[in-house]
Amino acid sequence: MSSERIQKILSAHGLVSRRGAEKLILEGRVTVNGSVAALGQSAEHGIDDIAVDGVSLTPKGEMVYIMLNKPRGYVTTKSDERGRKTVMDLVQCPAGAYPVGRLDINSEGLLLLTNDGHFAYNVAHPSHNHTKTYEMRVRGDAGKAARLLRRPMEIDSHEVCAVDVRLLEKKPDGGLIRITIAEGRNRQIRKMCGLCGLTVLSLKRVSIGDLGIGGLKPGEWRHLTEDEIKSFIASERA
């Protein structure tokens, strides 16, 4: 497991935005292993004890692992300063649980929640090779765009490349495309589509690694099985 900046860990945890995390650190409200954290400091989530106002990110006790079919209109965070609905309004889980990664407010589909920082790291970090697959309804030349999406492109000064792209349905004014990516940069799919001349009408994450969304309807959730949990942890030893 590698170190990451504390503000990035707090943001990924769903507590606050990256800027909000920096504010918490500057105010002296964040500690690492009992010592007040400094802005720019790194730590290993799941190894180091990171706390905000004395409350550890990963509390001791029973671990919870949940999969949710996130509907549109919900933000992927524990709370929202603008009063918008969050994914935490949809599930019943311990206060210490949080979303793993993000789906923007207009996206839907598979989202994992946990209070196990080690599990969350295994799911989210690109080094563990858990690809993410999305289906998107688009407007534009879907056939041409599907070919372009298979090529490397630059997003936010980083080169990205889809693992797999499939044109599921083609219409004169758009279509349905399935795309699999290995990383998950901010609004990456939408930005890739924009570079290919597409407008994304709907975006749904249908799988993370080997875990598919199955028959969960929007807003429904369930606990992961032991085998599903192990499938993510096992990647660390692969």
Catalytic residue ranges: 104
SS3 160: strand
DSSP one-letter string for 38-57: -TT-EE-BTTB-EEETTEES
DSSP-assigned letter for residue 89 = G
- Residue type present at position 181: I
Q: How far is 58 from 229, CA to CA, in rounded Å?
A: 17
Q: How far is 11 from 15, CA to CA, in rounded Å?
A: 6
Q: How far is 163 from 170, CA to CA, in rounded Å?
A: 21
CA end-to-end distance (rounded Å), the chain:
14
Q: How far is 110 from 138, CA to CA, in rounded Å?
A: 20
Q: Which single residue is written with the structure tokens 């730590």?
A: 43
DSSP-assigned letter for residue 18 = H
Q: How far is 235 from 237, CA to CA, in rounded Å?
A: 5
Q: How far is 24 from 53, CA to CA, in rounded Å?
A: 9
Give the H/E segment covering residue 48: none
